[in-house]
Amino acid sequence: MTGEGSEKDRTGLDYEALSRRYAEERTKRLRPDAVRQYQALEGEFAGFDADPNASQNFRRDPVEREADVLVIGGGYGGLLTAAQLRKRGVDGIVMVEKGSDFGGTWYWNRYPGVRCDVESYIYVPLLEETGFVPSERYAKGAEIQQQCRLIAEKFDLYRGALFQTIAQRLTWSDADRRWLATTDRGDRISARFVVAATGLYSSPKLPGIPGIEAFEGPSFHTSRWDYDFTGGSADGDLAGLHDKTVGIIGTGSTGIQCVPPVARSAKHLYLFQRTPASVDVRGNRPTDVEWFRSQQPGWQHERMLNFTQWTSGLPQAVDMVADSMTDLFREKSLAAGVEMSPEERERAEIAKMERVRQRVDAIVKDRQTAEALKPYFHYFCKRPGFSDNYLQVFNRSNVTLVDTAGKGVEEVTPKGLVVAGREYDLDCIIYATGFDFMTSFTRESGLSIEGRGGRSLEEKWSNGAHTLYGMQTRDFPNFFVLSIVQAGTSINYLHTADAQSRYMAELIDHCLRNELATVEPTQEAEDEWVEQCVALSADRLAFFEKCTPSYFNFEGARPRAFELNSPYGGGPLAYFGALEEEIHRRFAGSLEFGG
Ligand code: N01
């Protein structure tokens, strides 16, 4: 970083000193076990994966089904794809979902305080089609799940859906030109096309802290919230905690949402922090229904696009969303009137983070606690957080921040947690420790997939994904993945899912109408896309190499898979353009069709 004295004079920020501090904080957190520091909710930890929202006694006989399209996953990705297929007249859809209802991430994550962190008018999809009006600018999780159900009803997706069912194995038959899917309930589903929409945050992880299994009280992951123990609901009022001392581990987007309601209800809350989150202004407010209803057809897509343009650093005449997510780009871009240079972007990020630190000072009264809550990393090293009631909890007498100075919790004992040699006695431990993300599609999805000639997808992608547009891969005909790996993604993931679902539905419909039995990428098209992804990932990798560890950078490691399992570096707008172009060309060129 350059600039030294003169930059400091103009902005009041010492970029060099901050850069050094960022690097020091990063070094504190690097660990040789990187992503291996976490463990899945399986084996001896399988109990953590039990679904608190569904009957554990649910039984049914295995079924045999024939489908045009099998959609695995009933979250927004699967729902959008199925809805787009229905819009094109595809009838034979079977959906398989692990939960007992639709909703995906919004089905599982019912922790107190759960909300959308992107404006709901651009996040909640198909608002115009479903007539759904989010009651607030940043909608509550329960409301979002309700809209998932509405999409399913509107597009008749409950018909034939198999809930509390886990798709396990997919086998392609060249002779039949179909996939055979088997499930944990013994079902056999024969399908022409398979869409794996298994979610970005569907595989919760626990920290590999020694002794987790030894804790004697209740403990659970935030995506499996135990309301039987805490009482209350996602709206708070957790009466079961009134006489309890609670420990929460994790201060990511989930932690900062669930901490305030727990703080209001618990006798005492100890929050165990490894890295402080950046917590900016939220500014939630009720929806102005008159404004909402006055929007013209096509408004939601226009607003989504406007947000993605702004957050891609492309200034527009108007910033429609105009919230804490777009302001970083807004000031600088409007002043310059042109796209920001990488250096300007970095400086804007540093200035933004400084304001986030100043906000901590303005809100948190105890100086030592305030210092510990200040994040020292580049703004986009982690998912930015927003809250108007998180920092405030540290002024409460029943809340203690246990800052682990980047080291994390050392040990779980039968009675509580240990940090810096001190044991904290707890009645309950809550793990807000996130999800396995972009490390391995087959592991995260739990799917074992055999393509042409018995070729295993796990093996093909053992060093990272090889795809065309992140969605298809050669030798696995008629198979699609919804993910952000090798796909251009907006901060608003639903914009990406919207573009991908349209593409898949167009392509599948094209095959069905034209009696094309199979479709897969040509080897050349796949190789070219992978090459492009690797070439364009250089800047992203260089940025994340400087970042404090997180799931975004494989916890600071740099495996080969990092290059391949990254989002498409050309950005969301170029990516959406490429998909549109394919649809426009009727898929000629990059794909190979079999009659
Ligand atoms: O998970 P995370 P999350 N000792 O991985 C800490 C989306 N989301 O569930 O930062 C102590 O971000 C870990 O510490 P560190 C959103 O995209 C969306 O919060 O690694 N602490 C970190 O603080 C988000 O990014 C919404 O040092 C330990 C935390 O656990 C993604 O989901 C809402 C530890 C994990 O944070 C995941 O967010 C919520 C240890 N040993 C989430 N090990 C919306 O509103 C781990 N940690 C849409």
Count, in order, helices (H) and strands (E) of the chain: 21, 21
On the question of pLDDT at 36 being above 80, the answer is yes
What is the signed CA dihedral for 132, 134, 139, 142, rounded to 10 degrees? Answer: -40
Pairing of strands 38-40, 205-207: antiparallel
Q: How far is the CA of 21 from the centre of ligand 1 (A)?
A: 22
**Confidence tier at 333 by pLDDT (50, 70, 90):** low
The mean of the pLDDT values for the chain is: 94
- Ligand 1 atom 7, closest CA: 253
Residue of 26, 248, 249, 412 to mutate, ligand 1, most atoms within 8 A of C-beta: 249
For residue 481, what are the β-bridge partners? Answer: 196
- Kindly tell me if the per-residue pLDDT of 5 is higher than 50: no
Residue with tokens 């796909």: 487
Specify the pLDDT at position 332: 59
Q: Rounded to the nearest whole angstrom, what is the distance from the C-alpha of residue 387 to the centroid of ligand 1?
A: 15
How long a stretch of residues is the chain?
595
For the chain, domains (ranges, CATH) are 64-102+157-202+437-594 (3.50.50.60)
| Rounded Cα gap, residues 480 and 184, in angstroms | 21
- For residue range 240-250, what is the model confidence (pLDDT) as tens digits? 999 999 999 99
Closest atom of ligand 1 relative to the 408 alpha carbon: 4
Instruction: Name the pLDDT band for 334 (thresholds 50, 70, 90).
Output: low
Residue 3 confidence (pLDDT): 40
Q: Which residue has a Cα nearest atom 28 of ligand 1?
A: 250
- The pLDDT value given to residue 2: 37
275 lines ligand 1 (CB under 6 A): yes
Q: Could you tell me which residues come within 8 angstroms of residue 81 by beta carbon, excluding any fewer than 6 positions away?
A: 71, 195, 197, 480, 482, 500, 501, 504, 505
Evaluate if residue 586 carries a pLDDT over 80: yes
State the pLDDT confidence band at 329, using cuts at 50, 70 and 90: confident
Residue 150 is which amino acid? L
Q: Quick one: average pLDDT of 109-137?
A: 97
Nearest CA owner, ligand 1 atom 6? 250
DSSP assigned state of 555: G
Average pLDDT over residues 505-533: 97
Q: pLDDT (tens digit, 9 = 90+) per residue, 442-463?
A: 988 999 999 999 999 999 999 9
How many other CB atoms sit within 10 Å of the CB of residue 254?
Answer: 25
Q: Taking the alpha carbons of 555, 560, 563, 564 in that order, is the dihedral positive or negative?
A: negative
DSSP string, 402-430: EE-TTS---EE-SSEEEETTEEEE-SEEE
C-alpha 481 to ligand 1 mean position (Å): 24
Nearest one of 68, 72, 82, 97 to 162, comparing CA atoms: 97
Q: Which residues of 390-410 are buried (b: 16+ CB within 10 A; e: fewer)?
A: bbebbeeeebbbbbbebebbb
Ligand 1 atom with least separation from CA of 551? 5
Question: How far is the CA of 574 from the CAs of 201, 273, 530, in angstroms?
Answer: 25, 38, 15
In whole angstroms, give the CA distance from residue 118 to residue 111.
Answer: 18
Question: Do residues 470 and 200 lie in contact, with contact meaning Cβ atoms separated by under 8 Å?
Answer: no
Note the pLDDT tens digit of each residue in 374-426: 999 999 999 999 999 999 999 999 999 999 999 999 999 999 999 999 999 99
Q: What is the pLDDT of residue 1?
A: 39
pLDDT in tens, 148-201: 999 999 999 999 999 999 999 999 999 999 999 999 999 999 999 999 999 998
